[in-house]
């Protein structure tokens, strides 16, 4: 099956293998057609993949960065999503070509850390698994993982993370879908230390961890989201955005980000994660009231700055210093 190469992709990678790693979750091994080495990547990296239906989606690489011959992405089938994951699950076959970008990293592992605390929720295990694999066995740096999921059968890589090699350092907790059965993270977060904390998972989990780590050093707490554009909320409404430097004005509809609309009109801003966690698209807010949906800005910065990849407006118009 041939697919048209998207502007965000550079490499026509071949699907070498597909593996079911949990119910509704599949791993895809991507390789060069000629078997040559792929561009190197660092722990926490992601690639943008054009799915068989033509959509471009961002997926974390979950294999060991030392493996130069392949990239492995792991995709949860989202029935209510925008169609990218459904296309990979339903249409992608071994031997197909998926145009794939050069790896980028908005969630880099701090190499000088004395220890690591990883907190993963659901499919948020993928970038963290790459980090863990990069540390070796025995690990070059001590680490612990708290891995939260609803059900045992939907827990990706459960058998690997329950193996003797990892078991002493890993806590896997299933809620069974019961909010009263949630894991208590506070004992692990109550006392800040020199560890670097990496959290990836549903927005609610990350917001909870952010609230519980307000007394930690900000440089030691890192987040990654797999929800590009921030998602749609029930009270979202269209608003106008004006770029002060060019005096151009656009309407941002429900379901689209400021960054997406800017790109449609030939404008751009620095960006990487496009999920409000890395800070690359931080812009000065000159007028209007923002509806902040990022994981980066401090309360004292919210009146004057905005992350254009996810945040929206409470006012009818925003004026941004771009």
Q: Where are the domains of the chain?
A: 11-100, 116-226, 230-320
Two tokens, residue 147: 């891995």
DSSP symbols for 103-147: PB-SS---TT-S-EEEEEEGGGHHHHHHHHHHTTTTTSS-EEEEE
pLDDT at position 120: 97
Residue 49 has pLDDT above 60, yes or no: yes
116-226 CATH choice from 3.40.50.80, 3.40.50.2300, 3.40.1410.10, 3.40.50.150 = 3.40.50.80
Whose CA is closest to 272, among 106, 107, 124, 108? 106
pLDDT digits (tens, 9 = 90+) for 106-143: 899 999 999 999 999 999 999 999 999 999 989 999 99
Mean pLDDT on 162-183: 92
Cβ-proximal residues to 154 (8 Å cutoff; 6+ apart), any chain: 22, 23, 24, 25, 122
Fold of 11-100: Elongation Factor Tu (Ef-tu); domain 3 (2.40.30)
Residue 147 has pLDDT above 80, yes or no: yes
Q: How far is CA 132 from CA 8, 59, 145, 184, in A?
A: 28, 17, 9, 22
C-beta atoms surrounding 17 within 10 Å: 12
Whose CA is closest to 87, among 201, 1, 200, 23? 1
pLDDT at position 81: 66
pLDDT at position 283: 95
Calculate the average pLDDT of the chain: 92
pTM of the predicted model, to two decimals? Answer: 0.84
pLDDT at position 276: 87
How would CATH label the architecture of 230-320? Roll (3.10)
Residue 259 has pLDDT above 70, yes or no: yes
Q: Quote the distance between the C-alpha of residue 300 and its chain's center.
A: 25
Residue 197 has pLDDT above 70, yes or no: yes
pLDDT digits (tens, 9 = 90+) for 68-82: 999 999 999 988 666
Residue 274 has pLDDT above 90, yes or no: no
Mean pLDDT on 147-174: 95
């Amino acid at each position: 099956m041939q697919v048209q190469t998207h502007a965000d992709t550079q490499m026509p990678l071949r699907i070498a293998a597909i593996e079911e790693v949990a119910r509704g979750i599949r791993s895809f091994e991507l390789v060069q057609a000629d078997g040559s080495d792929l561009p190197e990547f660092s722990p926490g990296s992601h690639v943008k993949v054009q799915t068989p239906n033509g959509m471009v989606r961002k997926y974390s690489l979950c294999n060991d960065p030392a493996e130069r011959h392949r990239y492995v992405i792991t995709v949860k089938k989202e029935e209510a999503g925008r169609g990218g994951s459904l296309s990979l699950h339903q249409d992608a076959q071994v031997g197909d070509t998926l145009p794939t970008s050069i790896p980028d990293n908005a969630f880099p592992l701090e190499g000088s850390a004395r220890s690591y605390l990883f907190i993963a929720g659901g499919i948020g295990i993928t970038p963290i698994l790459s980090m863990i694999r990069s540390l070796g066995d025995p690990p070059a740096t001590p680490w612990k993982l708290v891995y939260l999921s609803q059900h045992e059968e939907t827990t990706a890589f459960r058998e690997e993370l329950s193996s003797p090699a990892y078991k002493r350092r890993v806590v896997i907790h299933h809620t069974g879908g019961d909010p009263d059965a949630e894991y208590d993270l506070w004992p692990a977060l109550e006392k800040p230390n020199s560890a670097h904390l990496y959290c990836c998972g549903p927005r609610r989990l990350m917001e909870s961890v952010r609230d519980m780590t307000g007394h930690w050093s900000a440089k030691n707490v890192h987040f990654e989201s797999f929800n590009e554009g921030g998602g749609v909320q029930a009270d979202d409404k269209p608003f106008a955005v004006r770029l002060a430097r060019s005096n151009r004005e656009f309407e941002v509809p429900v379901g689209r980000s400021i960054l997406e609309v800017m790109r449609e009109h030939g404008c751009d801003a620095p960006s990487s994660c496009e999920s409000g966690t890395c800070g690359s698209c931080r812009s000065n807010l000159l007028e209007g009231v923002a509806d902040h949906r990022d994981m980066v800005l401090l309360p004292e910065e919210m009146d004057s700055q905005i992350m254009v990849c996810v945040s929206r407006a409470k006012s009818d118009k925003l004026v941004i210093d771009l």
